[in-house]
Amino acid sequence: MTEQLPPEALVSRAAQLREELRYHNHRYYTLDDPLISDAQYDALLNELRAIEADYPSLRTVDSPTQRVGSAPLSRFPKVQHPVPMLSLGNAFGPDDLNAWLERVQKLLPPNTPLSFVVEPKIDGLAVALTYSNGVLTVGATRGNGEIGEDVTANLRTVSNVPLRIPVSGATPPERLEVRGEVYLPIAAFEALNERQAAANDKVFANPRNAAAGSLRQLDSSITASRPLRFFAYAVGPFAGIELTSQWQTLQLLREYGFAVNPDARHFDDWQAVLDYCHAWMERRETLAYEVDGVVIKINDFELQEQLGVVGRDPRWAIAYKFPAREETTKLLDIGVNVGRTGKLIPFAVMEPVEIGGTIVQHASLHNADYVISRDIRIGDTVVVKRAGDVIPYVVGPIPAGRDGSEQPWRAPTLCPACGQPVERLPEEVDIYCVNADCPAQLVRTLEHWVSRGAMDIVGMGERQAQQFVEWGLVRTIPDLYRLTAADFAEREGYAEKRVENLLTAIAESKSRPLERVITALGIRGVGSVGAVDLARHFGSLDALAAAGEAELTAIEGIGPNTARSIVDFFATPANQQLLADLQALGVRSAADAAAQPLGTTLAGKTFVITGTLPDVSRDAARELIEANGGKVTGSVSQKTDYLLAGEAAGSKLSRAQQLGVAIIDWAQLQALIG
C-alpha cells in the first residue's frame, strides 16, 4: 500500500522533535548537564517514533530513533581508509620523551617554536566517522590502519556519537572524517560482566575487550544495549573548513557536538608537558574509564606535515605509557619455542595471575642468557610485568622466597622440536636450530608466508600451517603451491567448497607484488618497509640475489647487519633452490611491468598526493608517477614540484598553496605524462 503524504504540520513537528532530541541528547551524554527529566525525554522520543511509524518517509538516517539498532548482518563490509589511521611510537619515561623531542628538533629548522597538545590515551577501540553535509554516513574500525570494517549501524547506537553535526544547527562542513576512541566506562563494564555471568554468557577480561566485542556485534541491537561512549581526538580528510592545528581541531569538534576529553591541554613549554604527564600518572586509578597513558602531539599541522611518518608511526606524536603493572606468581616450568629462523625462545609457564585486567599464564624470558644471568629457577616466585599491549615478561626472581626446592634451568643442547644439535652464532646471545628440516621452523615459516603482511592467503593460519606440516602435505614452502583437491580427500573439516576456496586463494597469492614476496621470505632484518625499498631498487629477486653488501647499504634504511643477512640468505643453497622452485611454480619474482619505468616524462620531479582521486587509488597514482620516472613523498616541502590533489585535500593543499607548489588534478597528471 502506498504511503500517503504526511501533513505539513507533521513534517515540521518531526523536524522540530529531531532537533530537540539531538540537543537534549548532547546535553545528557556529552555535557553531563541535562535540562529535562528522563520522562520528558522519553515523551519526546515516543512522539517522534509514533510519527515515523505512521509516515516512514519521515524517518531519516540521523533520527534519534535510529539508535536502537537494525537488522543483524551476516558479515561486516570492508572500508578503505582514505588516509591511513596511524599507530604511535611509545615512551616509558621522561628520558624517552626528551629523546623524542630531540629527534623532532633535529628534523626541523633550528629554533623552530613548538607548542604541544597533550591528551589522555583512552584504552578502547579506534574508529573513524565520516560525515557528508553533516550526516553520519560511514563508521569504520581502524582495522590494520588501511582497511577497517564498516560498523556504521553499531556506531549509530553509541549515545554520544552525533548522528548529525553541528548540534547547534549551523552550516555543516561538506565532508569531515572524525577519528576517536569507543570505550566502555569501568562501572558499565563491571555491570555488563555481572549480567553476562548471570546469563552464563562470556565474561570479558577488561573494558577494552568488552568495548571491542560490543562494537563488532553483527546484531546492532546488542551493541545498543551496552553503554558505549566515544571521545573524538582527531580528523581525517575534510572539505569546507580550515584547520591549521590540533588544538583548533579539538575546539571545533567540541563546537560540532563531539565529546572531547576535558583533560586535553595545550602547552607552549616542554617542562609543563612533562609536569602534566607526571600529574596524570597519579590520577590513573581515580578515573571513570581505562587509560594507559597520554599522547603528546606537535600542535601545528604544517610542522606535522614537515615531520612526516616513519613506517606506520607519525614523527610528530608519541604515546607516553603509564608505568607497567607488576605482579608476582610462581614459575612452574620453562618451555622453549622454535621460531621460523630456528631461534630457540624460552618462555615461562606460571600460575595464572591477573595483570591489568588480563589473566597471564605465559610470559617471555627473552633468551637463554637472560634466564641464566638472572638465575631464574623453576619453582621460583617471580615478578611479571605487563605494559599496555606489550607481551608480559618475567623481570626476575624473588630469591628471599626460595625454600630449596627450586631447580636451575639449563639451556638446551638439542632442538626440542627435532632433536638435532643446536648452535650459538658468534657474537650473538641467541641459540639456533640449524636443521633445515626442523618441523617447528617449517610451521613458523609457513605461518609467516601466508600472513596478511606477506602473501595474505585467506583461509590459512596457524592451525592450518600446523595441520599441513603434520599431515606431510607441506615439507617446503613450494609444496604449498603443489597442493590439489585430492590431498584433502577424507580429511575432517575440509569440505569441497572450503578446499576450492583455499586452493583459489593459494593460486591468487602467486601474483602478489614483489615487495610482498620479499617480506614473505623472512630474511632477518627485512620487514615490510625494507621490502618495498628493495623491490623498488632492484625490481627482481634475481637482481636482489646478485647484490653485494656495498650496494645494499647504499639504500637508505638498509644497515650493514641487514645487508649481511640478505647476502647470506641468497648465498645459501637451500634458499637458492627455494627461489628456483617458486619461480617454476609461477610465484612472482619481478615487479610488474607497469611498475618498471615506462618513460622519463616525470624524471627529476617530486610529487605529493592528497585527497580522494576520481576512479583511482592513491597507490595506483603513485605507481603511475614512479613508472614514468617521478618520485612520490609523503609531505609537502620546498622540494615538492607538484601536489596531486583530489577531493577533501586537507592541510597538504594549504601547505602547497603557501609554498607556491603547482597543484594539479588527475586529468592534468595524465596530460603531463602524455
Q: Where are the beta strands (DSSP E) in 205-301?
A: 229-239, 265-267, 291-298
| CA dist., res. 385 & res. 382, Å (int) | 10
Helix count and strand count (H, E) for the chain: 24, 26
Give buried/exposed letters for 451-466 (b at 16+ CB in 10 A, else e). Answer: beebbebeebeeebbb
In this structure, are residues 416 and 410 in contact, taking their beta carbons and an 8 Å threshold?
no
| CA dist., res. 105 & res. 111, Å (int) | 8
Counting every residue, how long is the chain?
A: 674
Cβ partners under 8 Å of residue 105, min gap 6: 112, 114
Antiparallel, parallel or unpaired: β 642-645 and 606-610: parallel
Burial label for 607, CB within 10 Å (0-12, 13-18, 19+), is buried
In this structure, are residues 128 and 235 in contact, taking their beta carbons and an 8 Å threshold?
no
In this structure, are residues 290 and 91 in contact, taking their beta carbons and an 8 Å threshold?
no
Cβ partners under 8 Å of residue 27, min gap 6: 33, 34, 35
For the annotated catalytic residues, the residue numbers are 121
Could you give the C-alpha distances from 655 to 20, 284, 651, in angstroms and in order?
A: 40, 39, 6
In this structure, are residues 66 and 220 in contact, taking their beta carbons and an 8 Å threshold?
no
